[in-house]
């Protein structure tokens, strides 16, 4: 034994040092420590460099995106804001033959169409989404419905326009009308309303549902009294954003609603001319009046303001709701 | 069925989630106006057993119960038994406090409204009574119309108890009600439960053996033999016996902290 120990002590001078303290045995080797230290420093430096480069890249990309958006808004407002805010423009009568026309019928058309579409698409979309999340068993049918909705949302709006023209305008004999347009836009926006509602209801904690059912509520009562109210901020945001998309939609509207009217529509069965479609019409065929440029730019600026206002409203509505539900303080 | 002092009687109960057998041969008589504790290591089916009593397992796709579970002699998995009626009689408090994102008042009034009570004065009375029974009224009486989510965790859990009491149940099931609470809040819940047991039958699942020993009159010890096996009752009896001279050495090992 002693000889063994002695030989070990001798060899230790060239070998790693072994510290014995109680049960803990610690091996130290300065050479290995050095290499590890150097590696740590190097990888730290590399990580730092990578971190900085990545941060800079992401920031630059974000700024470019934001810059493009700001540029578009700036150009549209620069060219049109003066006309849009001029007296007698937004509330003025349109002119087909002479200068100085306003856009009031188009403004009415846009909002009329948006509200009509919402009235059709919200019951359908919200209903379908609530059915999917609260009632249906996950299976082939729910997968099929989701697949269908996802496929629909990738179809270009002009295709919906032509489909709407064939089905609603011609086959059902609705003619160019707000109703035909609203039905078409309802189809176009149904997937988004469904998806946003589904996301909002899925975000409602399972524990709320359990609590309600534990008190004896059935699925319908739970959906109506707990899930829908809790999901309301998300659903409302989705609806208002959809309104923005409807107001901004042109292709599907051109084929189903109309592009120019003299008077504001009063019935859903009348043709109308929502702003986006009218802008397109004025830019492509509006040369009959010499100030067509002014009308189109002014209308574009006003439309942009409307869409921005709707987006802002969506945020504010969601915030107020959350506050009322006590989700934020 | 003759009056025998039992609220629930479980006979040879097996529970399946799909093909997976969660519980096997569960036999349990739960006495009226007592606190029965269910203890055991994680994953032994304690919560699942609790959820058999108000059919909360129904919410899980593919769950199936074999055997007999009776409430006052009536088979709760029987064809003509109303689940809604069952859940009114057997209330449940969950692991994490889960008040609705509504006002304190609307939380407590949710159940009564569900059963068609619309009268303002009646509702006011129920809300006040329930909050008092849950030892919460004094703390919240001036803010009944504010959001329940602004309360502390312990207050939220007592609110959940008040919400259950508001539908005047016979049984209260509690699934680890204190696991998300600090010791002081836990103490208050325990005091409350001891007070409530004169009027209600209470079944509590707990991880905390001291809690079971302090609080309960009867204790059931659940265990699984190995991963993937169904949970079974190892021992069931009055709490004193279980904790001082358990009949089964596995119970002894568990309560002395040798595993679990």
Confirm whether A22 is domain-assigned.
no
pLDDT score of A92: 83
- Whether residue A327 and residue B101 make contact (CB cut-off 8 A), yes or no, is yes
Q: Which of B61, B94, B101 sits opposite A326 (nearest CB)?
A: B101
pLDDT score of A24: 57
Give the whole-angstrom CA distance, residue A95 versus residue B26.
84
pLDDT band at residue A6 using 50, 70 and 90 as cut-offs? low
Beta strands in chain B (DSSP E): 6-17, 20-31, 35-39, 63-71, 74-75, 90-93, 171-175, 201-205, 218-223, 232-238
Residue B231 maps to which CATH number? 3.40.50.300
Could you tell me if B153 and B136 are in contact, meaning their C-beta atoms sit under 8 angstroms apart? no
**Domain total for chain A?**
1
The three-point CA angle A240-A109-A256 to 5° equals: 95
Q: Calculate mean pLDDT across residues A212-223.
A: 91
Give the whole-angstrom CA distance, residue A258 versus residue A277.
7
The three-point CA angle A113-A116-A117 to 5° equals: 85
Give the whole-angstrom CA distance, residue B142 versus residue B126.
16
Tokens at A264, concatenated: 């504001």
Confirm whether B69 is domain-assigned.
yes
Confirm whether B210 is domain-assigned.
yes
Give the whole-angstrom CA distance, residue B114 versus residue A238.
29
User: Which range marks the domain in which residue B164 is found?
Assistant: 6-255
Give the whole-angstrom CA distance, residue A177 versus residue A161.
13
pLDDT band at residue B2 using 50, 70 and 90 as cut-offs? very low
pTM, two decimals, is 0.77
Confirm whether A6 is domain-assigned.
no
Confirm whether B1 is domain-assigned.
no
Give the whole-angstrom CA distance, residue A160 versus residue A125.
17
User: Which range marks the domain in which residue A193 is found?
Assistant: 86-325
- For the four alpha carbons of B111, B115, B116 and B119, in that order, the dihedral sign comes to negative
User: Which residues on adjacent β-strands are paired with residue B90?
Assistant: B171
| Helical pair B153-165 and A206-214, crossing angle rounded to 10 deg | 30
Confirm whether A152 is domain-assigned.
yes
Confirm whether B175 is domain-assigned.
yes
A95-116 pLDDT, tens digit each: 777 777 888 999 999 999 999 9
Confirm whether B260 is domain-assigned.
no
Could you tell me if B73 and B1 are in contact, meaning their C-beta atoms sit under 8 angstroms apart? yes
Confirm whether A18 is domain-assigned.
no
pLDDT score of A20: 58
From the CA of B140, how many Å to the nearest CA of chain A? Answer: 16
Tokens at B156, concatenated: 């939220």
Q: What's the N-to-C CA distance of chain A in angstroms?
A: 74
Q: Calculate mean pLDDT across residues A213-234.
A: 91
From the CA of A233, how many Å to the nearest CA of chain B? Answer: 12
Contacts of A230 in chain B (CB under 8 A): 100-101
Confirm whether B211 is domain-assigned.
yes
Determine the residue among A136, A200, A206, A216 to mutate to test chain B binding: the one whose Cβ has the most chain B Cβ atoms within 10 Å: A216
pLDDT band at residue A287 using 50, 70 and 90 as cut-offs? low
On the question of pLDDT at A9 being above 80, the answer is no
Interface residues on B facing A, Cβ-Cβ cutoff 8 A: 54, 56, 59, 61, 84-88, 91-92, 94, 96, 98-102, 110-111, 114-115, 146-150, 160, 163-164, 167
| Helical pair B120-133 and B104-114, crossing angle rounded to 10 deg | 110
Give the whole-angstrom CA distance, residue B99 versus residue A49.
47
Mean pLDDT of chain A: 86
On the question of pLDDT at B248 being above 70, the answer is yes
Give the whole-angstrom CA distance, residue A150 versus residue A154.
7
CB pairs under 8 A between A and B: 75
**Domain total for chain B?**
1
pLDDT score of B90: 93
Cβ-count burial of A57 within 10 angstroms (0-12 exposed, 13-18 middle, 19+ buried)? exposed
Contacts of A207 in chain B (CB under 8 A): 94, 96, 98
On the question of pLDDT at B156 being above 90, the answer is yes
On the question of pLDDT at A26 being above 70, the answer is no
pLDDT score of B51: 92
A92 or A164: which leads in pLDDT: A164
Q: Which of A137, A230, A326 sits opposite B61 (nearest CB)?
A: A137
From the CA of B189, how many Å to the nearest CA of chain A? Answer: 18
User: Which residues on adjacent β-strands are paired with residue A18?
Assistant: A27
pLDDT score of A1: 45
């Amino acid at each position: 034994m002693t000889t063994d120990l002695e030989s070990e002590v001798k060899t230790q001078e060239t070998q790693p040092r072994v510290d014995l303290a109680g049960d803990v045995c610690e091996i130290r080797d300065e050479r290995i420590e050095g290499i590890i230290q150097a590696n740590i420093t190097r990888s730290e430096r590399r990580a730092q460099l990578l971190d900085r480069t990545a941060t800079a890249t992401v920031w630059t990309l974000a700024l470019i995106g934001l810059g493009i958006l700001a540029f578009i808004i700036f150009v549209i407002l620069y060219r049109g804001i003066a006309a849009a805010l001029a007296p007698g423009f937004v509330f003025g009568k349109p002119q087909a033959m002479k200068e100085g026309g306003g856009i009031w019928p188009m403004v009415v058309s846009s909002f009329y169409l948006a509200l009509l579409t919402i009235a059709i698409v919200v019951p359908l979309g919200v209903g379908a989404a609530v059915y999917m999340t609260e009632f249906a068993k996950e299976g082939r049918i729910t997968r099929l419905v989701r697949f269908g909705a996802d496929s629909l949302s990738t179809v270009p709006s002009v295709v919906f326009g032509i489909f709407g023209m064939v089905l609603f305008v011609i086959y059902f004999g609705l003619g160019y009308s707000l109703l035909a347009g609203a039905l078409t836009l309802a189809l176009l926006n149904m997937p988004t309303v469904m998806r946003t509602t589904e996301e909002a209801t899925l975000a409602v904690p399972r524990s709320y549902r359990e609590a309600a059912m534990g008190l004896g509520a059935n699925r319908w009562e739970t959906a109506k009294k707990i899930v829908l109210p809790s999901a309301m901020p998300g659903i409302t945001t989705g609806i208002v954003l959809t309104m923005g998309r409807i107001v901004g939609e042109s292709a599907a509207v051109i084929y189903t609603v109309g592009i120019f009217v003299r008077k504001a529509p009063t019935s859903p069965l009348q043709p109308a001319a929502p702003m986006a479609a009218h802008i397109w019409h004025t830019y492509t065929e509006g040369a009959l009046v010499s100030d067509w440029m002014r009308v189109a730019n002014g209308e574009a600026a006003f439309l942009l303001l409307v869409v921005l206002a709707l987006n802002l409203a969506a945020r504010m509505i969601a915030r107020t709701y959350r506050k009322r539900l006590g989700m934020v303080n | 069925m003759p009056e025998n002092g039992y609220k629930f009687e479980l006979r040879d109960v097996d529970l399946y989630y799909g093909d997976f057998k969660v519980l096997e041969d569960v036999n349990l008589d739960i006495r009226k106006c007592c606190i029965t504790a269910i203890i055991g290591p994680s994953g032994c089916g304690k919560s699942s057993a609790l959820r058999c009593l108000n059919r909360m397992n129904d919410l899980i796709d593919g769950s199936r119960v074999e055997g007999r579970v009776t409430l006052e002699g009536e088979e709760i998995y029987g064809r003509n038994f109303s689940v809604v009626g069952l859940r009114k009689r057997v209330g449940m408090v969950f692991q994490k406090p889960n008040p609705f994102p509504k006002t304190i008042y609307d939380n407590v009034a949710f159940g009564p409204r569900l059963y068609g009570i619309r009268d303002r004065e009646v509702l006011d009375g129920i809300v006040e009574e329930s909050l008092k029974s849950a030892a919460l009224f004094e703390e919240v009486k001036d803010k009944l119309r504010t959001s329940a989510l602004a309360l502390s965790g312990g207050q939220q859990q007592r609110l959940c108890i008040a919400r259950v009491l508001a539908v005047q149940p016979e049984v209260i099931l509690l699934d680890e009600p204190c696991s998300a609470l600090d010791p002081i809040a836990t103490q208050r819940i325990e005091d409350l439960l001891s007070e409530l047991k004169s009027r209600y039958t209470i079944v509590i699942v707990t991880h905390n053996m001291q809690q079971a020993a302090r609080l309960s009159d009867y204790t059931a010890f659940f265990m699984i033999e190995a991963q993937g096996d169904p949970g079974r009752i190892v021992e069931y009896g009055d709490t004193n016996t279980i904790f001082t001279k358990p009949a089964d050495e596995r119970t002894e090992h568990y309560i002395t902290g040798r595993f679990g």
